[in-house]
Amino acid sequence: MEYIVLSIPLFFVLMGAELAWSAWSGRKVYRLNDFIANLGCGIGSQVVGAFTKAAIFAAYLWTYDHLRLFTLPRTAVTWLVAFLLVDLLYYWFHRLSHEVNFLWAAHVVHHQSEEYNLSVALRQSWWQGLFSWWFYLPMAVLGIHPVLIVTVGAFNTLYQFWIHTKAIGRMGPLELLFNTPSHHRVHHGSDPRYIDRNHAGTLIVWDRLFGTFQREEEEPVYGITKPLDSWDPMKANFHHWGELIGLARRCSRWTDRLRVFLRPPGWRPAELGGFQGPQARDRSAHRKFDTAVDRPVRTYTVLQFTLLVAVTALFLFRQQQLAPWSQWAVALLLLWWVMDMGLLMEGGRRVLRWEAGRIVGFAVLGMVALGALAAPWGAATTVLLAMLSALHLLYIARRGHRT
């Protein structure tokens, strides 16, 4: 069962509650451009996962059927063992994702936001699932059924949603055992003393046990040490890979080219200056990346993003009703869509041409694919929405898209 997809309505309810707290407390924790970028990354992660989850589950199932050493019954004790193993293995996957460059390239997306709110929990890499699943294969070897592995893994992920907030302070004795918002705020800090700390999923005891625990002392400066400075989810998911490939090309020795991907972030060969560790930021001079676009663009983006969320949910729940080519076409359209939403928040006129093409693609797919997901009026509704979107975009283009 897709517990994470089914939890999407609850995510939005809780984000609404957090937004209300923000207004009541006078603490501005949401910005529209950052929110759009965070959810755009999350949508892309779910879309990519729709094509990889079946293969990953098949790998677990094959391992369980052919390589398991035991057959554990589905009892309360087995559930407890599965929970502890998932949480422990998640800790090590998460820790290594901060200590090995190619794993960091897949994980860095989650840390790029300079805000800290519940939408950041949904800011997920499109590729991380391709690197994380094999950490849990030993559980199948031990005889834990794949259904139990993925179920407990989903609840481990769901637990981590609520800890991405400033609305909850310290939680007393609970912080000795569980991962809490205070502990996880540290993890998202870019301050040198906070980097690579508090990797826990549910239980903070693993960080205490393996020497990576750090208490929250002052509010962190959130984000990564070299800010992304973009709202584009496409750039967010590819930029670090590009940096690693560029660095590898500059290395003269092939062994150093390999080390670029296997050593920690910041590693350089001696010929390129050696390791470059994180530097403390001047808090008084630090400014978050921000952009301003006019009200019509913001209105258009909010309306289109709302439609995007609805179409994505429809796709995730009814994907199997589509032919394989239609599934890929709709997935590519959704990734194009999230890219355009981010670029609209950056301003400029070139994105208007991209968005016009995306609307045409939406209309075409509405007639040949999306309509099948929302029969009997799906195709007509999609074409109507595309026409309204085109008229709205034309209005923006004619009045001028101010950056």
Query: What is the tens place of the pLDDT at every residue in 136-145?
Result: 999 999 999 9
Q: How far apart are CA 396 and CA 304, in angstroms?
A: 14
Sign of the CA dihedral running 94, 96, 98, 104? negative
| Domain residue spans of the chain | 3-210, 295-399
Q: What is the DSSP string of 191-222?
A: STTTTT----SSBTHHHHHHT------S---B
Q: Do the beta carbons of residue 381 and residue 368 sit within 8 Å?
A: no
Q: Specify the pLDDT at position 373.
A: 67
∠ CA(11), CA(14), CA(17), 5° rounding? 150
What is the average pLDDT across 28-39?
97
Comparing 1-10, 39-48, 107-116, 227-236, the range with the smallest average pLDDT is 1-10
Mean pLDDT, the chain, as a whole number?
93
More confident residue, 263 or 372: 263
Q: Specify the pLDDT at position 375.
A: 63
In the chain, helix, strand, coil percent, each to 5?
65, 0, 35
Confidence of residue 372 (pLDDT cuts 50, 70, 90): low
Q: How far apart are CA 24 and CA 18, in angstroms?
A: 10
Name residue 86's amino acid: V
The whole-model pTM stands at 0.93
> Where do we find the tokens 């002052």?
218
**Tokens standing for residue 293:** 């676009």
Q: Name residues whose C-beta falls within 8 Å of residue 75's C-beta, 6 or more positions apart in sequence.
A: none
What's CA 352's distance to the chain center, in Å? 26
**How many Cα atoms sit within 13 Å of 296 on the Cβ side?**
14
Query: What are the tens digits of pLDDT across the range 190-238?
Result: 999 999 999 999 999 999 999 999 999 999 999 999 999 999 999 999 9
Whether 350 shows a pLDDT value over 90: the answer reads no
More confident residue, 34 or 382: 34
**Tokens standing for residue 204:** 């903070």
What is the average pLDDT across 293-310?
96
Name residue 164's amino acid: H
Q: Do the beta carbons of residue 286 and residue 277 sit within 8 Å?
A: no
Query: What are the tens digits of pLDDT across the range 48-100?
Result: 999 999 999 999 999 999 999 999 998 999 999 999 999 999 999 999 999 99
Confidence of residue 1 (pLDDT cuts 50, 70, 90): low
Whether 371 shows a pLDDT value over 70: the answer reads no
Name residue 322's amino acid: L
**Tokens standing for residue 331:** 């997935």
Whether 245 shows a pLDDT value over 90: the answer reads yes
Q: Specify the pLDDT at position 403.
A: 40
Comparing 151-155, 345-349, 399-403, the range with the smallest average pLDDT is 399-403
